[in-house]
Structure 1
């Protein structure tokens, strides 16, 4: 019993620190807003009640909510299906918004049809995009990152992750060249200057990307001289045009002759015959990829799919986020109606969430994880996914003792998840929302220092671990 009293006193000290003036927050620069919530899963003993009803941009922690809605609404064996059908003299590829569909998958489908003796298309090939409708990018997505792959458009006709890999090389006399593998049907050019580091710092000249709707990418600005090429990932701006060109290329490779054209849409209704189909990995695999790698395209295409299945109409950002709210309320009783949500990934700056609502979601997942099996899909501090190399999670006692989902957006640094007990099981739930975080920029010549957010997180996560371990020891002492 003496151990129990001591640990209770420790928890009381934690509670006092969090409730009045939590010291680690002093590591953050002026102007920030923060909401912290830490509580025991069994007893709901609170360590923090700071700003828990205020709204914050959730960033990628929103993927936990999307994952829960998908688990509640879709069957465990759900997968995205892409179908190759024959309709009269036309062929139709019916896309489902599969975020993992590759050109090689399409090639296998068309090859299967050819192997059945169908090596000539007397009509057109139609690329059916009717499963989704509305915007390909959610309201509030930052305009300046639309050219890079983590903001690839969310589309029914999705191929190769709507992402193209390229690279840029520095050359002599201040020149650069950009390389795109020849099988990608895009065009990239460079006017970037190759400069020394001192020239770059004095001119304040950085690397800029301008993308156009016809999948043309223009690189401008400056790049510091380097021996190896700089890898680039371009978000495909027009996935339909990209897919048209890739299908043309695959038809040539397979020797399938096309009499007509490759069109977007679907031919007039008539009898169809299934020629081949492709299924993505099942839901659990998709969710693990989405949560561990923080894949925005999977999250947004799943959100639109939820809108389609829940409302029985083409999916969109609008009905997808509405479906997420209704699905979660119907199954859990958690009311998210007042929270502004505009996508499933958290990429939009217009999303808002509270730490209390996020904690409620995490509590529900924990109570029902024997059916949901979601916690095991989350990254582990210092060991997997987006948390593997996070500076504040790579050392003892934090490494391996926290499971959670990170989320970062301009000025926001978030985390939501579970602290583990001594046996490695979730014992506490925690939410960290930090926004309006704008530390002073390091001046030229100054030595690198530990970022304020890293200092804060290191202290905070240490406290989360101490609380979780203390609570589990208290339980054992009883």
Structure 2
């Protein structure tokens, strides 16, 4: 046995020597200001094929942090876990107990309310938001993206992904107009000008969005002339107010008789359960979170972990602390001193090291039979956020990597596994790139972006090494 292990290690080291490319080869493709950390490591015996010397240096993880959140969720929550939204009756008051279900829809809410008999006299309908506490947005979320759906607030009262849709049209007289579907209780106005593309570029006039807690949105700046409308997706700024208005509309649709109001809170009297809506399974939630990089699922799961672990309303603070405690106690991964602010990676205050991410990936692989997380991740050039990634769309990289991407302003990250020819993980790899600010090319000539050149070379090495490792 010992002899066979030695032989395999010797063969592996010869493979490493034959194929190794120094990290500087990749880094040379990036602007001088860029910081990066890379690692390619054999899963079976931890031999490092390629690594930079800064494995413990902290980088913004962006959405690769969702791997950490997913692991904590699998370790702490049972396979039977589902977000549950309950309707209870308290004399003539009715309460909808929200749990932060990121998949709850208008249709689901209507189904719950339809459990109230039409002849029932209703005083008030309450929207219970006590499942979570604290801020709906984490410290470090960029202020300038709070109006778009990928930064929708992580709230206990969550409906329709806390996201609404609209569209903006350019008009011949130089103005714009906005269309909002009638069923969406929001108000959108536009002061944006319709201009030619040349005028927009020369004046540096961009389309800008401002929003308010009343779910009012205003567009201003410039939009280049277009034949078709530009689709818009707005993050609901006040989910409780939005859900109040949706609930009032549903009450009218269902012809329910209410003498009071739709209120946020919960009465003090004891009630009985009339109906329960359950979300999809934990695995389905995690698959959507990892493949679509869904921030709302990640952050509402983070708060739910805080609630579950500490037996109190969930928040970003106790959710992050719960993740750290769960990983240490259940997986032996110590990230106590790692600065984290959310579970999605959206906050610019998050930091993570390549070494800690490697520890997370190795644990996921070692316990794949119990966890089943690897199958939920995107495949290079084939699924999820990696399907159309320019550096992964062609052979030999397409279909040969399973990984989670992550990007923020100036950061381009990837963490995952390289596969052998039979599609089994044989390596783990990390790519943390930050402070990436390439010089804009003024000429019209098409050039390949430095980050794409970097990634293609790095991923080719991941694939090459992963498929060269001898089978044991």
Superposition TM-score, scaled by structure 2 size: 0.96
Q: Assess if the C-alpha contact under 8 Å between 1:398 and 1:462 holds in 2.
A: yes
Q: Assess if the C-alpha contact under 8 Å between 2:41 and 2:48 holds in 1.
A: yes
- 1:51-450 maps to which residues of 2 (within 5 A)? 51-114=54-117, 117-121=118-122, 123-268=123-268, 270-443=269-442, 445-450=443-448
Q: Assess if the C-alpha contact under 8 Å between 1:113 and 1:276 holds in 2.
A: no
Partners of 1:250 and 1:402 lie apart in 2 by 46
Q: Assess if the C-alpha contact under 8 Å between 1:193 and 1:222 holds in 2.
A: yes
Partners of 1:176 and 1:125 lie apart in 2 by 39
Partners of 1:4 and 1:130 lie apart in 2 by 56
SS in structure 1 opposite 2:133? Answer: coil
Partners of 2:185 and 2:270 lie apart in 1 by 33
Partners of 1:138 and 1:250 lie apart in 2 by 31
- Is the counterpart of residue 468 in structure 1 residue 466 in structure 2? yes
Shift of 1:212: 1.0
6-15 or 393-402, which deviates more:
6-15
SS in structure 2 opposite 1:403? Answer: strand
**Residues 395-431 of structure 1, C-alpha deviations (whole Å, 9 max, x = no match):** 0010000000000001000000000001100000001
- 1:10-25 maps to which residues of 2 (within 5 A)? 10-15=15-20, 17-18=21-22, 21-25=23-27
Q: Assess if the C-alpha contact under 8 Å between 1:119 and 1:255 holds in 2.
A: no
Shift of 1:213: 1.1
200-209 or 293-302, which deviates more:
200-209
Q: Assess if the C-alpha contact under 8 Å between 1:211 and 1:218 holds in 2.
A: yes
Shift of 1:446: 2.2
Aligned residues: 466
Partners of 1:194 and 1:119 lie apart in 2 by 52
Root-mean-square deviation (CA), in Å? 1.6
Shift of 1:113: 2.1
Q: Assess if the C-alpha contact under 8 Å between 1:442 and 1:448 holds in 2.
A: no
Shift of 1:448: 2.8
Partners of 2:47 and 2:430 lie apart in 1 by 14
Aligned residue in 1 for 2:36: 34
Shift of 1:57: 0.3
Partners of 1:3 and 1:287 lie apart in 2 by 36
Shift of 1:294: 0.2
Shift of 1:120: 3.1
**Residues 334-371 of structure 1, C-alpha deviations (whole Å, 9 max, x = no match):** 10001001100000000000000000000001000100
SS in structure 1 opposite 2:304? Answer: helix
Shift of 1:305: 0.2
Q: Assess if the C-alpha contact under 8 Å between 2:92 and 2:121 holds in 1.
A: no
Q: Assess if the C-alpha contact under 8 Å between 2:412 and 2:433 holds in 1.
A: yes
Partners of 2:92 and 2:210 lie apart in 1 by 41
Partners of 2:345 and 2:71 lie apart in 1 by 14
SS in structure 1 opposite 2:273? Answer: strand
Superposition TM-score, scaled by structure 1 size: 0.95
SS in structure 1 opposite 2:113? Answer: helix
* Closer, same or farther: CA 205–344 of 1 in aligned 2, 3 Å: same
SS in structure 2 opposite 1:319? Answer: helix
* Closer, same or farther: CA 5–364 of 1 in aligned 2, 3 Å: closer
Shift of 1:262: 1.1
* Closer, same or farther: CA 52–249 of 1 in aligned 2, 3 Å: same
Segments of 5+ residues of structure 2 without an aligned counterpart are none
Q: Assess if the C-alpha contact under 8 Å between 1:79 and 1:283 holds in 2.
A: yes
Partners of 2:26 and 2:233 lie apart in 1 by 37
Shift of 1:173: 1.6
